[in-house]
Amino acid sequence: MMSLDWQLHVNRASEAEILSHLARCNDRFVPRLSARVDLAAYAHRLHMRASRFEAWAGGDLVGLIAAYFDDEGGVAFISNVSVDECFLGKGIASALLARTIAHAGSAGCLQVRLRVGAGGAEARRLYEKHGFRACLREGEQVLMQVDLQREDSMATTRDYDIEGRDVAGHKYAYGFDFDVMHPYMVRSFEPFFRTGSLLELGSYRGDFTIRLTPHFDDITCVEASEEALTIARDRLGDKATIVHARFETVQLPRRYDNIVLTHVLEHLDDPVAVLQRVNEEWLAEGGRLFLVCPNANAPSRQIAVKMGLIDHNAAVTPAESEHGHRITYSLDTLERDATRAGLRVVHRSGIFFKALANFQWDRLLQTDIVSPQYLDGCYMLGQQYPDLCASIFLLCESSVGAR
């Protein structure tokens, strides 16, 4: 029986798998796909020339968007959108479409275009949700397009230097983060470290990187904020290679045995796309991703909901938004995005039971009320109740080559 759990991949399918998928979906095209193209020739062309964004369930290709990004006018064209019938209604087409549009933006495209049957109202509604608008009627088909910004323009829409600064009533990082959470993160990671190289995505000013230097001689850091990067370079010296770039576009020369992504994923516009790059481009064979995010269900946030300070556990507060937060993860949603990117979750846990807000912890740590033994107790309790921790932790491995 075919599994109903699915994951995203890029350019994974063979020509035969593409043909088999198109044949299963043939009757749902209007008109039938085989009435317009030779299925075998079309599958061959997609396999050889198109960029393919794929949904897989177990070993089966169940969703496919194929697109061409080589138009000199900066236009990406989507040639195929298809989902197996038993996987309809699971958000696959929408997820694949979002991934394709994000890729087009990163590739510098100005527009993404596609054609849809004039009578395909449901398909048109899906495309309209992603910003497509009808621009031309061509017989029984409608040409739709969504306008994008070039990569160099997109980069200016977010100022990573400003996002990394403190704002009124809220710090970007607290003493609690540096003095409590960082040591316990390393303690959580240590049993799983692989011998070899380390890639840290989002090193900020190097505070966490410094704690990793006793464990690794070969460290590469990628950081988007030039202000933070300058401070990190001064602090780290020759202990790390630091790259100024965005995760969405950075080109790294090799793969890494360990990749650390701590309190960064929640800042990304397309977190699944970046996790997909981790899975398919950056993790070495047998390598491990250490993925940590703030926890929506931390008691401190749940208390804030009861106090009326935030609407719900996963809310993104105005201050968090100023720091570039796009989402507040819980264990289930974090694992959802990791698996959709094709990663295999091999361990899940929490880091530090937390009932107080960061600013409250900062004040408390200035007193002698809290002992090191108490902090250790909160850390150990967090292992027992991961869903009530300050941060949630997934250890992931790549699925590439595991078919």
Length of the chain: 403
Among 94, 86, 96, smallest CA distance to 127 is for 94
| pLDDT attached to residue 4 | 53
SS3 307: coil
Q: What is the Cα–Cα distance from 205 to 228, expressed in whole angstroms? A: 5
pLDDT recorded at residue 178: 84
- Burial string for 170-190 (b: 16+ CB within 10 Å, else e) reads ebbbbebbeebbbebbbebbe
CATH 3.40.50.150 in the chain is located at 158-397
Q: What is the pLDDT of residue 152?
A: 42
Structure tokens, 276 = 């997909």
Q: Within a 13 Å sphere around the CA of 101, how many CA atoms are in the beta-carbon half?
A: 22
Backbone angles phi, psi at 27, to 5 degrees: -70, -15
H or E element that contains 256 = strand 256-262
Residues 174 and 153: their CA atoms lie apart, in Å, by 32
What's the gap between Cα 215 and its chain centre? 26
pLDDT of residue 155: 40
pLDDT along the chain (403 residues), means of 10: 66 94 91 91 94 88 91 82 91 87 80 83 85 81 80 49 60 76 95 97 93 96 90 92 89 94 91 91 95 94 89 82 84 92 94 88 88 93 93 91 49
pTM more than 0.85: no
Q: In the prediction, which pLDDT does 140 show?
A: 75
Distance CA 78, CA 71 (A): 12
With both helix axes pointing from N to C terminus, report the angle between 39-49 and 15-25 in degrees, rounded to the nearest 10.
130
Angle between helices 121-129 and 92-106 (to 10 degrees): 50
Indicate where the chain has its CATH 3.40.630.30 domain(s). Answer: 7-155
Per the rule left: phi > 0, alpha: psi between -120 and 50, beta: everything else, 352 is: left
158-397 CATH, one of 3.40.190.290, 3.40.50.150, 3.30.300.30, 3.30.43.10 = 3.40.50.150
CATH code of domain 7-155: 3.40.630.30
Please give the pLDDT value at position 396: 97
Phi, psi of 276 (to 5 degrees): -65, -40
